[in-house]
Amino acid sequence: MSGEVFALPGAAPSASAIKLYARETAGFAERLAKTVELLQEAVLDHGDGLLQSSSLGAEDMVITDLIARHKLPIAIATLDTGRLHAETLALLPQIEARYGLKVAVYSPVNDAVVTFVRVRGADAMYESLALRKECCAIRKLEPLSRMLDGRTAWITGLRREQSSNRAVVPFSEPDHQGRTKLNVLADWSWADVWHYIATYDLPFNALHDQFMPSIGCAPCTRAISVGEDFRSGRWWWESEDAKECGLHKSHSNEELKTGASA
């Protein structure tokens, strides 16, 4: 989805994301109440089968705060691909210190990573879409399958505003394994996300202050420029319709062929 500007003309290389983006918009209270209701219903429906799959992005920090704030018995897990920014990983001890919650970390199989790097090269993702997807499969999809093993539902930070490929994201949908995927912030705006972060003084990735609204692996993430849309800084060398990693295959939107809020 294009059109919204996330960086300001003449802005410095680093600026406060809260000052730039946070504002209360019409209907925010209702959207927040709806999200809490969806989380509470998910606990009733899935119990121990429920998991938050967190990318540690701004959206997922909001969801983690809601889980803690409303004392919901929802497990939280994330993927450490081996190529994340230090700023991303720094959130793990902050979450534990603030909420007393342990985030389970799933990493790729080391032998598979070593073999890929030896055969394809450390930066093979720039060479072709096929190689980039192969890298994502090793570093993200395989550990995600272990993360979700035995689960009946998982919670993501996907929002309709994030990209054209995600413009029809529903609140609930089946994933490609038949689990329920819950996109509890589907109708939130970027302003909503940051309004919540500002209101409750949440920890967030310091890279958001460097015009990186969507943060993945370090080689595949850059700051965005004036006029670029939300996910322009992800896999920027690829065409727009290729910009998913495989985590979010969807039966409800066939464009999501190759893509937590990743």
pLDDT single digits (tens) 2-12: 334 444 433 44
Does residue 95 belong to any structural domain of this protein? yes
Q: Would the annotation count 220 as a binding residue?
A: yes
Q: Would the annotation count 219 as a binding residue?
A: no
Q: Would the annotation count 52 as a binding residue?
A: no
pLDDT at 254: 35
pLDDT at 133: 95
Does the active-site annotation cover 121? no
Instruction: Evaluate if residue 253 carries a pLDDT over 80.
Output: no
* Long-range contacts, 121-129 (Cβ 8 Å, 24+): 123/219, 125/219, 125/220, 125/235, 126/219, 126/237, 129/238, 129/242
Domain with 229, as residue range(s), is 17-242
Q: 45: which residues sit within 8 A by CB, 6+ positions away?
A: 153, 180
Does residue 99 belong to any structural domain of this protein? yes
Does residue 254 belong to any structural domain of this protein? no
Residue from 66, 224, 245, 247 carrying the catalytic annotation: 245
User: For helices 190-200 and 58-69, what crossing angle results, to 10°?
Assistant: 50
Q: Record the pTM.
A: 0.87
Does residue 7 belong to any structural domain of this protein? no
Q: Would the annotation count 135 as a binding residue?
A: yes
Does residue 255 belong to any structural domain of this protein? no
Mean pLDDT confidence for 73-96: 98
How far is the C-alpha of 240 from the C-alpha of 232, rounded, in Å? Answer: 8
Looking at the 3D structure of the chain, how many domains does it have? 1
Closest C-alpha to 31, from 190, 223, 220? 190
Task: Give the domain CATH number at 208.
Answer: 3.40.50.620
Does residue 197 belong to any structural domain of this protein? yes
Burial class (CB in 10 A: 0-12, 13-18, 19+), 28: middle
241 — pLDDT class (breaks 50, 70, 90): low
